[in-house]
Structure 1
Amino acid sequence: MAEDQRNRRHPQNLQGVLRLAVEAGSAADGPALPEPMSEERKEWLKGALAEVAKGQNSEVEQMKECMRVVLRDGGCERGREGEEEGEDEEGETEGALEFLSELCENLDNARDLMTLGGLDLCMSQCLNHPQGSVRWRGAQLIASCAQNMPEVQCHLLSKGALPKLLQLTDSDPHPTVRVKALYAVSCLVREQEVGLRAFLSHDGFSVLMRGMQSDNEKLRTKSSFLLLNLLTVHPEHKGLCVSVSSLVEDSPLGLRDCQSPTLGLEEMLNQRAEDLQGREECQEEVEFCKRLRSVCFCGRQPDDSGMDR
């Protein structure tokens, strides 16, 4: 009972402090009158805020300790031989990266990790680690921090994270690394103009189309989703529809994934063609949409007259 009382007296976050303060004020008898805060209440509020700050500082210290674990690993210096003496350290590194990913679901922690240099460490050491289990956790951490955080996205882009992540997506031998790296790519380029420009400059669409031809089902699906999202939001890249239609013609796996109802490709193509109908300057894009729709959903090639280049 005493422990429960202490927990109620010392909330664990600022929201709890404010809620408790409101509850305490509303519990008073009679109408609320403006009056100075009592010394007792000042001391209580100071103590409650100190407890909250202590918790936040504790998370910063936890992140610093995780960074020390990653730094101590030094995996990229050992080469890819996988020496037995490094196995324990690699296990610690994996645990540290997973814990950091959990902490950085909090946006403030993600920003703090960036300020502490944790993301730079992750890029330089974890993405180049000889163990795939460390590489994919490093990519996952980058995705966790970058998601919905323009400040972190710009930092990662300025440090050259995108080309490395595209390389991992395209050619890493570990299938989970490729999927997690693509997730991180998505967090850096969706609704991020700087990221999209970098994506285009590094031929990111070709990486996605190769991903759609992979025998890794998750990679195919996620590549398709990201490609669809980018083309929907940025229809100016309509020329890619020709490449996509050629890709699905030559790839049964790609065709099957395009036909998946979860992707919603047919509906998107129909809607896009309808939106552009009657606009003379957009007729080429309309033809692209019709061609891709025919290839994927009609089981036949459309008449190519008018499609010549």
Structure 2
Amino acid sequence: MREELFEYYRYSVTNTMADGGHEENRPHPQNLQGLLHMAIEAGTESGTPNQTEQMSVERRQWLQEAMNRAFAGQADEVQQIKHCLQELGSKIENDTEDEEKRKERALELLADLCENLDNAADFCKLSGMHLLLNSYLNCPEAELRWRAADLIGICSQNVPFVQETALSLAAIKKLLQLLDLDCSDVVRVKALFAISCLVREQEAGLVEFLKEDGFSVLMRAMQSDVLKLKVKSAFLLQNLLLSHPEHKGTLCSMGMVHQLVSLLRTEHSPFHEHVLGALCSLVADFPQGVAECRNPDLAFEEFLKGRCQLVQKQEEFQEELEYCERLLRTCFQNLSEDGSMDR
């Protein structure tokens, strides 16, 4: 239904633009109410005396009926959220498999519903985030823990109100503990997903991440045996370096360059592409990072040249090759030129 309404909005705006309207000045609808206002407004603007295709009575009636159905569906979704929270809030009386399955299904349904930003906010207003962080991240069943961590991430994506609520409940500390110490690989991966949703483009989240020594936790995650966890940890590190270069000094003082290079010396895998990407971000416009890479004990220049030879004819590793070549240029090109001049 929402797809039909937005399609109608696009149709109305297109007609307005055909008559010289200014769609770029029109704020985009953020919810169904805003969509109703914008669609009718666009249809009204397009219905000028010279416009050959005005909004007909039938179209207006269709739009109103569609909105009525959509709003009814939205109200129904709020009731579903409430029902799920009631199920999750009830204690497991007999510790039966059936009771656990009901809670798993409730978390699964909430994950689907909260893909919608309005539903995510409603879930949070109904104390859902409090329930997840104070109960379900600590429950003994790994299935419930990973679903709770996943739901925290889903709700927190691009919704400042939800992010602020989660951070006020010490979400970063609890999720970092799961990422670092949980016995379930799936729980660790989902905890990392939730952390990413709370720290990327979220200054307050990053402050908490740094306070809880999050970079060290990321480094340990990259040293695990779980490929997905290694890749996602390196990817988050790379993105944080790109968006917050002011923390490069902290990472260098932690020995991050040495640790990343040591990871590259493990058996070759797709994970290495992301490690090299993180190193590229770390040394870009940062002389201290370049100096660390030039440390003779690392023999990093020789390693990069060897890796270029290994992957240069393999199409699936072309991005890795580009990272290696970029590191050679950034860290060693001047050294090679100076050496040639000396000789």
The alignment's TM-score, normalised by the length of structure 1, stands at 0.73
Unpaired runs of 5+ residues, structure 2, are 16-39, 305-330, 332-343
2:274 match: secondary structure: coil
Deviations 1:235-289 (A, max 9, x none): 222231352233346x5578557984541625x645764x53xxxxx53233135
CA distance in 2: counterparts of 1:233 and 1:36, whole angstroms: 46
Alpha-carbon distance between aligned partners in 2 of 1:145 and 1:11, rounded to the nearest angstrom: 19
Provide the C-alpha distance between the structure 1 equivalents of 2:72 and 2:297, rounded to a whole number of angstroms: 58
Q: Which amino acid aligns with 2:178?
A: L
Match of 1:15 in 2: 6
Q: Which residue of 1 aligns with 2:80?
A: 62
- Output the CA distance in 2 between the equivalents of 1:286 and 1:150: 36
Aligned mates of 2:297, 2:197 — CA distance in 1: 28
* One-letter amino acid matched to 1:60: V
Q: Distance in 1 between matches of 2:232 and 2:218?
A: 9
Structure 1 residues 99 and 257, CA, compared in 2 at 3 Å: closer, same or farther? farther
1:270 to 1:180, Cα distance in 2 relative to 1, 3 A: closer
Structure 1 unaligned segments of length 5 or more: list them.
1-9, 277-281, 303-309
Give 2:309's aligned residue. none
2:274 maps to 1:263: yes
Matched to 1:265, the amino acid is L
For residues 17-61 of structure 1, what are the alpha-carbon distances to aligned partners after superposition, in whole Å with 9 as ceiling and x for unaligned?
Answer: 6579899989x9x9559x9997x9877655443222101001111
Taking the aligned partners of 2:64 and 2:11, their CA distance within structure 1 comes to 13
Equivalent residue in structure 1 for 2:120, among 87, 110, 121: 110
Q: Which of residues 159, 177, 180 in structure 1 aligns to 2:187?
A: 177
Taking a change above 3 Å as real, the CA distance of residues 204 and 60 of structure 1, as seen in their structure-2 partners, is same
Cα distance per residue 1:66-111 (max 9 Å; x no partner): 1111112x35xx8xxxx7x421111111111111111111111111
In the TM superposition, 1:119-198 aligns within 5 A as 119-198=129-208
Number of the residue aligned with 1:3: none
In 1, the alpha carbon distance for the partners of 2:110 and 2:69 equals 22
Percent of pairs identical after alignment?
43
- The aligned residue for residue 259 of structure 2 is 247
**Cα contact 1:220–1:257 (8 A) shared by 2:** no
Counterpart of 2:303 (choices 299, 304, 307) is 299
Alignment of 1:44-59 (within 5 A): 46-59=64-77
Q: TM-score, normalised by structure 2?
A: 0.67
| Greater relative CO, 1 or 2 (CA 8 Å, sep 6+) | 1
- Would the alpha carbon gap of residues 157 and 54 (structure 1) be closer, same or farther in structure 2, given more than 3 Å must change? same
Count of residue pairs the alignment pairs up: 272
Query: Aligned partners of 1:173 and 1:253: how far apart in 2?
Result: 26
Give the AA of the match of 1:63: I
Q: 1:156 to 1:271 in 2, by over 3 A?
A: closer
Please, which moves more after superposition, 235-244 or 203-212? 235-244
Change (3 A) 1:57 1:215: same
Letter in 1 for 2:116: N
CA contact (8 A) 1:119 1:142 kept: yes
Q: Could you tell me whether the CA contact under 8 Å between 1:175 and 1:216 is conserved in 2?
A: yes
